[in-house]
């Protein structure tokens, strides 16, 4: 039961709205039953033809108070008879109809207000969950996303969160509104006829058992459907991001078949899920209706045989109130199904919210405002996953003095980018440590560490925004003149001014409205504007044409004179003038030195250099 209502923990920030929702649900339940029971004492009196009948009731006077059915029915008859004698049947009937109308009106008003105060809970929880999931996604290390599909992550932040929204709404109704309606109805039934109500208590659990048996597997089936839907989402995300490659390799049919296969699997699971969920409502309604028909038979026999104090009008009222139990029981079965699906979504969401983040600030992490000495790798080893057969980096020892340009070269997959990614703590070392100015970077506040570093990646990562906002990304305030200056250094200003709105031009999804070289130059301008003391350039000029590469390389050479730069390059012509070139091979540092020194060693670097035909 505790697990069933676990989704309510998300509503703790909305207690005021929750209490108001509960209050109006209680009022709704009371007025729902009240509007029906008003007719019970009137049913017999309205059709009584003996005019002396009403006066006889009045002559008997008000009965002495007793907590039983006879007292309440006698009290009702006395009041109704007095009104009929004074005002007449037609007038009393008019007032009864008016009171029932008013009671029904207020019942619906209270239901509206219950939903009115539920709205900020539903939407607020969705907002909070999405904020938490986005915050957690930004905090988690890059290694986490190498194991997770982006489509599945997006599915959890959209469809699973919506399931939680519905689950919360249904849970509040399952706890408060529908059970209250049933309890109040049962209380009224006990007042009218305790004997008949005993049958209700004995038979209604049958409906609950039927629902429980059918709904038992909904949670597991729902969880499976969400996994498949996440895969479907992932295929869509990958397809839209790789349309050029798909069309170039005429892979439309292959992608379509793959999509249709997963979509068919999701369709199959969903059909089974819906069929099972839809089965609970008619079964529960049928069982409850069977109970009501049995009560109708037993009560009818009691009235016909005059074997009890149950009068015909009381029995009609009893049956009318009993019939009010059917809709809430039906709603409870639907709510229970939605809660089961919500629990499956909750588990998927909690998996992200409680995912371990190993890259966090240490309790005594210190803030740094400048970089003054050196970056040093000390016996660093690293594997992407614990338990891998081997390390991606093995016993790395390297010192990078301030103001020097260090180039990392080697074959693809040798570990160059991984080395650079460890400096801003995108990954943490498994063995050894990396020091900045003699302090382990694990003891430096992550945000202050990364503020000292500018990164230009091999793939230009831009956002669907203006050129200016892409260049100033991450800066809370900036000088427009500085933006233009950075763009000029990156050889981007001229083509930016040729755009329809200059720096205010939107560049589309991932910068798709620009060429590859233009996107890379905006990325370089972004790093230049940040003006960090440490630069990491991962193939920063690889997407440029020959002329742009020369101009940008000259600008970068000037920029790197006063900065510590780690340059990753496959094109060796771009790093000939580096202060030191480090050759990485299969995760190990195998050669170090200047361009000329490495050529004289006649080792791996010389081989790479000769292969590129540089003379």
- What SS3 string covers 28-76? HHHHHHHHHHCCHHHHHHHCCCCCHHHHHHHHHCCCCCCCCHHHHHHHH
The secondary structure of the chain in percent helix, strand, coil, rounded to multiples of 5, reads: 65, 10, 25
**What span, in angstroms and rounded, lies between the C-alpha atoms of 534 and 514?**
28
Mean pLDDT (10-residue bins), the chain, 615 residues: 60 84 83 66 57 68 62 67 76 78 85 86 81 81 71 75 71 69 78 77 67 60 72 73 66 81 82 72 71 78 70 72 73 69 74 81 87 90 70 89 89 85 88 90 89 81 85 84 86 87 86 79 84 83 64 67 83 81 89 87 85 61
CA distance 314 to 300: 11
What is the number of alpha carbons within 13 Å of residue 464 lying toward its C-beta? 2
Measure the CA angle with vertex 139, ends 135 and 144; round to 5°. 115
The pLDDT, as a whole number, for residue 379 is 92
3-state DSSP call for residue 145? Answer: helix
Beta bridge partners of 453: 534
Tokens of 104: 């029904």
Q: Which tokens hold the place of 140?
A: 């988690």
User: What pLDDT does 74 receive?
Assistant: 67
CATH annotation of 6-353: 1.20.1560.10
> CA 487, CA 401: separation in Å to the nearest integer?
28
Residue 217: predicted pLDDT:
58
Which of 321, 72, 310, 78 is CA-nearest to residue 191? Answer: 72
DSSP symbol at 462: -
Alpha helix (H) residue ranges in 425-560:
446-450, 467-471, 480-489, 493-497, 516-530, 546-560
What is the reported pLDDT for 81? 74
Give the span between the Cα atoms of 600 and 579, in whole angstroms. 16
DSSP symbol at 366: B
CATH number of 460-531: 3.40.50.300
Task: List the chain domain ranges.
Answer: 6-353, 460-531
β-pairing, 405-409 with 564-568? parallel
- The separation between CA 233 and the C-alpha centre of its own chain, rounded to angstroms, equals 14
**CA distance readout (Å), 34 to 47, 121, 174, 572:** 22, 29, 21, 87
Residue 615 is predicted with a pLDDT of: 47
Total number of residues shown for the chain? 615
- Predicted confidence at residue 375, as pLDDT, reads 92
Whole-number pLDDT of residue 462:
83
Largest CA distance in the chain: 129
Structure confidence at residue 6 (pLDDT):
60
- Sheet of 393-401, strand order: 393-401, 374-382, 431-436, 439-440
> pTM for the whole thing?
0.68
């Amino acid at each position: 039961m505790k697990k069933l209502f676990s989704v309510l923990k998300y509503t703790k920030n909305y207690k005021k709205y929750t209490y108001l929702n509960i209050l109006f649900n209680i009022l709704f339940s009371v007025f729902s039953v009240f509007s029906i029971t008003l007719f019970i004492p009137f049913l017999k009196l309205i059709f009584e033809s003996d005019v002396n009948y009403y006066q006889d009731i009045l002559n008997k006077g008000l009965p002495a108070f007793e907590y039983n059915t006879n007292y309440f029915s006698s009290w009702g008859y006395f009041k109704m008879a007095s009104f009929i004698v004074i005002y007449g049947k037609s007038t009393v009937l008019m007032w009864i109809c008016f009171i029932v109308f008013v009671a029904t009106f207020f019942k619906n008003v209270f239901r509206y207000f219950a939903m009115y105060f539920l709205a900020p809970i539903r939407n607020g929880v969705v907002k909070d969950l999405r904020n938490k999931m986005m915050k957690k996604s930004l905090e988690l290390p890059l290694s986490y996303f190498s194991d997770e599909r982006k489509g599945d992550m997006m599915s959890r932040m959209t469809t699973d969160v919506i399931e939680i929204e519905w689950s919360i709404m249904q849970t509040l109704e399952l706890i408060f509104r529908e059970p209250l309606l049933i309890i109040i109805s049962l209380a009224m039934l006990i007042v009218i006829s305790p004997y008949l109500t005993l049958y209700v208590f004995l038979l209604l659990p049958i409906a609950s058992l039927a629902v429980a048996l059918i709904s038992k597997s909904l949670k597991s089936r729902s969880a499976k459907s969400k996994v498949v839907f996440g895969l479907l989402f992932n295929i869509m995300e990958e397809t839209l991001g790789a349309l050029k490659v798909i069309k170039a390799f005429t892979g439309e049919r292959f992608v379509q078949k793959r999509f249709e296969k997963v979509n068919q699997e999701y369709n199959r699971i969903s059909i089974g899920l819906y069929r099972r969920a839809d089965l609970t409502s008619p079964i529960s309604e049928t069982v409850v209706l069977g109970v009501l028909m049995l009560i109708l038979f037993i009560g009818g026999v009691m009235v016909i045989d005059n074997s009890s104090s149950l009068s015909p009008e009381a029995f009609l009222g009893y049956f009318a109130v009993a019939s009010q139990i059917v809709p809430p029981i039906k709603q409870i079965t639907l709510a229970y199904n939605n809660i089961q699906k919500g629990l499956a979504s909750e588990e998927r969401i909690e998996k992200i919210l409680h995912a371990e983040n190993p890259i966090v600030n240490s309790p005594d992490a210190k803030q740094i405002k400048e970089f003054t000495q050196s970056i040093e790798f000390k016996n660093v080893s690293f594997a992407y996953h614990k338990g891998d057969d081997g390390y991606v980096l093995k016993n790395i020892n390297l010192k990078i003095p301030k103001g020097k340009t260090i180039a990392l070269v080697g074959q693809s997959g040798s570990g160059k980018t991984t080395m650079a990614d460890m400096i801003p703590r995108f990954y943490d070392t498994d063995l050894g440590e990396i020091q900045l100015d003699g302090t382990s970077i694990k003891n430096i506040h992550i945000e202050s560490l990364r503020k000292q570093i500018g990164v230009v990646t091999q793939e230009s990562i831009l956002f669907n925004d203006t050129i200016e906002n892409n260049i100033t990304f991450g800066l809370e305030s900036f000088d427009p003149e500085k933006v233009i200056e950075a763009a000029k250094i990156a050889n981007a200003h001229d083509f930016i001014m040729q755009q329809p709105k200059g720096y205010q031009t939107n560049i589309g999804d991932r910068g798709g409205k620009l060429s590859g070289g233009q996107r890379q130059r905006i990325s370089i301008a972004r790093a230049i504007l940040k003006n960090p003391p440490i630069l990491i350039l991962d193939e920063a000029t690889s997407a440029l044409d020959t002329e742009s590469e020369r101009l940008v390389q000259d600008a970068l050479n000037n920029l790197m004179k006063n900065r510590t730069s780690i340059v990753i390059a496959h094109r060796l012509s771009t790093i000939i003038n580096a202060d030191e070139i480090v050759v990485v091979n299969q995760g190990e540092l195998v050669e170090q030195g200047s361009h000329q020194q490495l050529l004289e060693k006649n080792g791996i670097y010389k081989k790479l250099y000769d292969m590129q035909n540089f003379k």
